[in-house]
């Protein structure tokens, strides 16, 4: 069963990934490959809203990778806790 908290985390990840991709001029598939070594995983998560496909560690690692390489031209979304901030 997917909970509201799971969906919030999934929404946060997708939102941050979309902004990250825009700032670096990357497609969703390119961001997905950089984060998960799988070009389709992020798109599948976004389409299915199945948070069970996302492990807690994967969420943390993905956010950390994006935070560490965040584009200077894009503001980190205020509603998402930025790792290391």
pLDDT over 60 (residue 50): no
Tell me what pLDDT residue 67 has: 97
Quote the CA–CA distance of 85 and 83 in Å, as a whole number: 6
How many alpha carbons lie under 13 Å from residue 80 in its C-beta half-sphere? 22
Band of residue 9 on the pLDDT scale cut at 50, 70, 90: confident
Does the pTM surpass 0.85? The reply is no
Find all residues with CB under 8 Å of 76, minimum gap 6, and list them. Answer: 16, 19, 67, 70, 82, 85
pLDDT over 90 (residue 59): no
Tell me what pLDDT residue 1 has: 43
């Amino acid at each position: 069963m997917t909970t509201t908290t799971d969906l919030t985390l999934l929404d946060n990840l997708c939102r941050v990934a979309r902004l990250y991709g825009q700032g670096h001029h990357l497609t969703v598939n390119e961001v997905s490959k950089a984060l998960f070594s799988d070009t389709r995983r992020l798109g599948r998560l976004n389409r299915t809203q199945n948070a069970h496909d996302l492990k807690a560690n994967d969420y943390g690692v993905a956010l950390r990778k994006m935070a560490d390489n965040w584009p200077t031209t894009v503001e980190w979304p205020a509603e998402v806790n930025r790792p290391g901030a």
